[in-house]
Amino acid sequence: MTEVAIGEDNETSTSSFSSTRHRRRAADKQQQERVCTKPGVSKEQVQIHRRAKMAHRQGKLREALGMLQEGMRRYPDDLHFVPLAASIESKLGNMRRAMQLLHGAMDKQPDSPALLTTAGVVYSRAGEAELARQFLQRAQDLRDRPCATVMLVSVESLE
């Protein structure tokens, strides 16, 4: 999210937005390169996830979810699709489906900070503050994840 100061001219705000977009693209590319170097992860898997993330950012939730579901169907052992798919399911109000996706993946990778963080977010959206706090605390304990810490503080403020 780009913040524009009051009184800031259009040229500066466009430059700031462009800079933020450039940093996001660079971070996505770095993530893609890291994933591509993992054994057993194809470029197609990375491209599916990347396209789904772009659709998600553009607000095309059902389109993004369709891509992620196709990725999960084609690559059932790749749990990389699950956090975003579960997050989108919860945004669409499909809490039960989101939780099923997460718990199925956590059965395979119980110590995945990404899955635990997403579970915390989903349970928070579902109004389950205590469960959300537990998942986020576990994610934070496993790896110092700034996003888990911020979300943990948010959930605790709801209690």
Neighbours of 74 (CB within 10 A): 13
Alpha helices (runs of H) in the chain, residue ranges in sequence order? 10-36, 43-57, 61-74, 82-91, 95-108, 113-125, 129-142, 146-158
If you count them, how many residues does the chain have?
159
Contact 83, 71 (CB under 8 A): no
Spatial distance between the Cα atoms of 153 and 99, rounded to a whole number of angstroms: 22
Distance CA 136, CA 4 (A): 31
- pLDDT for position 154: 56
Walk me through the domains of the chain, giving residue ranges and CATH numbers. 39-158 (1.25.40.10)
Amino acid at 115: L
pLDDT, position 8: 40
d(CA 127, CA 158): 9
Mean pLDDT in consecutive groups of 10 residues from the start of the chain, 159 residues: 39 54 63 56 93 97 97 94 96 96 95 93 94 92 62 54
Amino acid in position 149: T
Task: Kindly report each contact of residues 94-97 with a partner whose C-beta sits within 8 Å and lies 24 or more positions away, as own/partner.
Answer: 95/122, 95/125, 95/126
Other Cβ atoms closer than 10 A to 78: 19
Do 71 and 49 touch, CB atoms closer than 8 A? yes
What's the pTM value of the predicted model, to 2 decimals? 0.68
